[in-house]
Structure 1
């Protein structure tokens, strides 16, 4: 009898060792097995929203699950970002983040509700676009050198608009002041459309704006592009020099966008999302839709995205501090 009991225990132990005694309920389902959500922390229709929907369509095809876009706008992107930071770290809730969310806002806002450097797991850089130094077409300024010369000859005579205090175009103006050693007047408006309208109506001299906000007006001859504030010329404006070519190499203002997940998301999930994102960014459909916004598809490793955010956090933190801008 004792021998039979020992043999029975041995059989059970062997079955457990071989996995024969495990139950199917304990097996982990393959990722993903339900819809994913990409939170866009801005209103529908803008560049970030278009990018997220474009990427979402591609991921829907490759992952074989629906990818839903959830717009949660407000507070410079902080509301939607906080939502994702507090979401379960399972890979089913992602954030289409801007560089400002991951590297600038913590210097601007006393209370974010999340820590950009700690509360997100980077997936991949998605794209970037340089800002454009522009003026009203009637302004007698033909290039960056003319702009700087006028600012030095007549301090406070140049007014540059932006979509609002603390926005990237505003901080670009602060960077221009520092790099060129000039005095400029910043005039904030309530969004990109109002800022562009101010340039068109000659309320201000110009601005350092995103391509979607000003390209139609440049093509129509109502604005003049002086320089591209990025590492290379835009295909859509091949005759416009970069700021480096124009003599201001330190005036680099590139808006970038990255896909992130809540911190703690399993590494295997991040790896899969990274792989699928990189593949999506190489498709002709994604490249074509990004090109219409003058956005370059820019996939990366998670580590490269984290490094970029940290570098910009230091760069823009100094500029924000020098400007004295704080937002509630």
Structure 2
């Protein structure tokens, strides 16, 4: 009988070493501080959520978790930085849904592919947008506004070209066969102020931007563009209840890593983040921003992102939304 010593089979030794090291990588991870890149300026919802997670993950994972702001180009600067980072789980991106599902269609010269260069970990939170108008507009319901818009020029503001609010206005035009003109502003507060002062007819924007003005009675909410009514606006119907089920617009935020990050490391981070999102104080802090804590598996996140990418890709192409 022939026998073989391990010293004569280096390929076997290498294969066994590699196989054994994969679970070990997850067990020993992290080996140094983790950086969560927030691709927007400090003080916004992405930055605040990143800091909440950094606080919780620092404790649960036994290492320092640092929030690093890298704003620019609709989030593309920070996203590309993470896409090019070492794929070991120590550099993560807290991205908006627009970065992951819209920007590839909006920016023709994008230097990375969100769908190919970033690996899904989990959706962190989401919030539906609100369809709102200035109170001088004689419409009390979404259908009444559509009838109004069919007969007059109307203008909807957004936080800027290529933002979710911009794409949402395009979706409204496609869904309702209207011709609402998009007016870009520099940020959510300026966009909401334009509605408040009557500079524009209305907007489809986030609860943090619109709720303060809705509460004053100077801006009228027509519908919530999500699956459920908002707790803060219990009398405002969803777009489905208002007769426009296809007008669904969620702003969502998710944690991703460089594409080649080991699955075991992805699963570890997923577990830790989902546990953090289930904490009562985290839920309360998210709720203060109008954001629903989420948390799903990488596989569920990947399927959701693919569906969102297909949906918004069609809308963006039809509306010819481009940023050179």
Q: TM-score, normalised by structure 1?
A: 0.90
Query: Hey, what does 1:275 align to over in structure 2?
Result: 271
Hey, what's the Cα distance between the residues in 2 that align with 1:90 and 1:257? 21
Mean Cα deviation higher: 98-107 or 180-189: 180-189
Query: Hey, what does 1:289 align to over in structure 2?
Result: 285
Query: Hey, what does 2:311 align to over in structure 1?
Result: 315
Query: Hey, what does 1:93 align to over in structure 2?
Result: 91
Query: Hey, what does 1:216 align to over in structure 2?
Result: 212
5+ residue gaps in structure 2?
9-16
Hey, what's the Cα distance between the residues in 2 that align with 1:179 and 1:251? 7
TM-superposition CA deviations, 1:44-75 (whole Å, max 9, x none): 00011111111111111111111100000000
Query: Hey, what does 1:248 align to over in structure 2?
Result: 244
Secondary structure at the counterpart of residue 41 of structure 2: coil
- What's the CA shift for 1:153? 2.7
Query: Hey, what does 2:34 align to over in structure 1?
Result: 36
Query: Hey, what does 2:233 align to over in structure 1?
Result: 237
Hey, what's the Cα distance between the residues in 2 that align with 1:232 and 1:320? 25
Hey, what's the Cα distance between the residues in 2 that align with 1:218 and 1:151? 21
Alignment of 1:165-184 (within 5 A): 165-184=161-180
RMSD: 1.8
Task: Give the length in aligned residue pairs.
Answer: 306
- What's the CA shift for 1:139? 2.2
Query: Hey, what does 2:183 align to over in structure 1?
Result: 187
Secondary structure at the counterpart of residue 110 of structure 1: coil
Hey, what's the Cα distance between the residues in 1 that align with 2:64 and 2:94? 16
Alignment of 1:47-196 (within 5 A): 47-154=45-152, 157-196=153-192
Hey, what's the Cα distance between the residues in 2 that align with 1:116 and 1:36? 21
Hey, what's the Cα distance between the residues in 2 that align with 1:118 and 1:280? 27
- What's the CA shift for 1:33? 2.7
Hey, what's the Cα distance between the residues in 1 that align with 2:63 and 2:235? 44
Query: Hey, what does 1:18 align to over in structure 2?
Result: none
- What's the CA shift for 1:116? 0.8
Hey, what's the Cα distance between the residues in 2 that align with 1:271 and 1:185? 44
Hey, what's the Cα distance between the residues in 2 that align with 1:33 and 1:171? 41
Mean Cα deviation higher: 186-195 or 288-297: 186-195
Bigger Rg, structure 1 or 2: 1
5+ residue gaps in structure 1?
1-9, 14-21
Q: TM-score, normalised by structure 2?
A: 0.91
Secondary structure at the counterpart of residue 133 of structure 2: strand
